[in-house]
Chains A and B, each alone.
Chain A
Amino acid sequence: MQIATSPTRTQFPLSTKKVLKKTIVGSIVWIVLFGFFVSFAGPMAFILSMDPGLRAIVGSLFFIITLFFVAIIVLTYLYQRWYYAVYFYDLTPDYIIIRKGPITPREITIPYERIQDVYVDQDLFDRFFGLYDVHLSSATVSSGMQAHIDGVEKAAADGLRAQLLETVSRKIGRKS
């Protein structure tokens, strides 16, 4: 798959662990449901194993549900790999450009002068995988939700933050 490259992404790469993390987060409901199902289906199959007819039905049901579960995981994984491949971010001399979404692409462009704050955070799953999200927002609500680079490792997160802060302060300094 063609990876979207930019000077910034080459310098501060997106971690491949992001694909794994997003696959797990994206299918967490199904994982929990499947866990439930397995823990109930086991005892049930044991109880019903006296009757060969019922046992066949339970067996095929088990097979179909497992297949369905595996298909969901695989599809989520493939989608996340695609998402990872087209994820584009670039710190050009004048603007920050972030583009994501393979099927419904969305690209946001923010000039450095409009940056209100830069912050780095980790959610619970990010802690497990050692990933960081670098957020930057302008004075609008929508930018806070869209303008973030998520799924970079510590070195890249620190590098991105340092470069962003350096450029922003230089741009503001020149203005006043």
Chain B
Amino acid sequence: MPNTSPINNATYPVQKRWLFKQVLMSLPIFFVMIVFVVFQQEDAFVFLVLGMIIVGGGINILIAALRVSCFSYDLDEKFLNIRQGVLSKQERHIPYGVIQEITIGQGIADRVLGLAAISITNASQSGSYNDAYGNSTTVWHGIPISTRRKQSMELLGFRGNLVHIPGLLPAHAEELKTALLAKMKEHESDTGAGL
């Protein structure tokens, strides 16, 4: 019943296991370090590297947990409201009429953990865009020219023209999409963008 119960981060929460995705995604770096360890004879070096892996993974999980605890969203009558920010707080209110498209995606780590991410895009940027992983793509006449990888932590909240809510159960993502599409249809006449 998406219309009767309120839709926010309490009804469709970011799952706890999304935190482990932050470790899974930096696994390639850890793997290189582990290979390094295997070929080392020096015990001190082995402990140093293993310590770095554990502390690094722990910090990643901690940061992700902080971001989740500071993140909230809800769908009210007229706006999609999102609040984020651990130290500096940001709030964003998007009228349903200007939402351009909704994407549901699952990466490899999402498939393993049984999660899905929903992306809501409006039309407020062009030239280059950032995806949920901070990969910035330079675009020339609609043709992607180059992709640069910036960070390994997935976006939670909004950046540029993208709102990204990761770590949802696939069924929840689907229901959220249905609810958003219904709101968009309701408010399609007050569009300020598009055609």
The chain A residues found within 8 Å of chain B, CB to CB, are 94-95, 103-111, 113-116, 137-147, 172, 175
A140 x B121 contact (CB < 8 A): yes
A95 x B195 contact (CB < 8 A): no
The chain B residues found within 8 Å of chain A, CB to CB, are 100-108, 110-111, 121-123, 125-129, 131, 137, 139, 142, 144, 161-162, 177, 181, 184-185, 188-189, 191, 193-195
- How far apart are the CA atoms of A115 and B127 in the complex, in Å? 19
Chain B proximity of A93: nearest CB distance (Å): 10
Instruction: Give the top 10 A-B pairs by smallest Cβ distance, nearest first.
Output: A139-B123, A106-B105, A138-B100, A110-B101, A141-B129, A107-B104, A114-B194, A109-B102, A144-B142, A140-B121
Chain B residues with CB below 8 A from A107, complex form: 103-105
Partner of A104, one of B111, B131, B189: B111
- How far apart are the CA atoms of A107 and B102 in the complex, in Å? 8
A106 x B104 contact (CB < 8 A): yes
Given contacts A94-B185, A141-B126, contact A109 B191 (CB under 8 A): no
- How far apart are the CA atoms of A142 and B120 in the complex, in Å? 11
Chain B proximity of A117: nearest CB distance (Å): 10
Given contacts A139-B194, A141-B125, A143-B100, 4 further A-B contacts (CB under 8 A): A109-B103, A111-B188, A141-B129, A144-B139
Partner of B103, one of A106, A116, A139, A175: A106
